[in-house]
Amino acid sequence: MVEYSSSSVSGSSLKHNFKMVCHYGVDSPLVTAWTDENPGRRFHDCGKDFVRRKCNFFRWYDPEVPDRQNKIIRGLLRKNDELKKKERSLVIVIGLLGIMLFMCVLLALGLAMK
């Protein structure tokens, strides 16, 4: 018996209480697609854990989204990635500045001791 895994089921899907089963008769989990064609669209997948033994069961859960909206979502995801990269480099810069400040303080203390 395969349970719904909480990681693949988002909050809003708690409302739907019917159970979809795949060709094996296994509970079919709701997973989210992150392809360019369907960013964020959820579908029912084979409930088997092992990729090789998965059947080809596949059924969309969310309705098809107009291409315009998919384009906007893709744009936002790309923007989000860029911001994350910028954030990471800023964290590195701040870390380096912190180290430099620490060394300056050590140097000043060393000079003050003389």
Q: Give 91's DSSP letter.
A: H
Residue 31 binds to Zn ion (criterion: CB under 5 A): no
State the Cα–Cα distance between residues 80 and 87, nearest whole angstrom: 10
Q: Give 71's DSSP letter.
A: H
State the Cα–Cα distance between residues 7 and 103, nearest whole angstrom: 45
Residue 30 binds to Zn ion (criterion: CB under 5 A): no
Residue 55 binds to Zn ion (criterion: CB under 5 A): yes
Residue 24 binds to Zn ion (criterion: CB under 5 A): yes
- With CA atoms as reference, report the closest residue to 31 among 62, 53, 52: 62
Of 4 and 73, nearer to Zn ion (C-beta) is 4
State the Cα–Cα distance between residues 112 and 109, nearest whole angstrom: 5
Least distance between Zn ion and beta carbon 83 (Å):
38
Least distance between Zn ion and beta carbon 1 (Å):
14
Least distance between Zn ion and beta carbon 17 (Å):
21
Residue ranges that bind Zn ion, judged by CB under 5 A: 22, 24, 46, 48, 55, 57
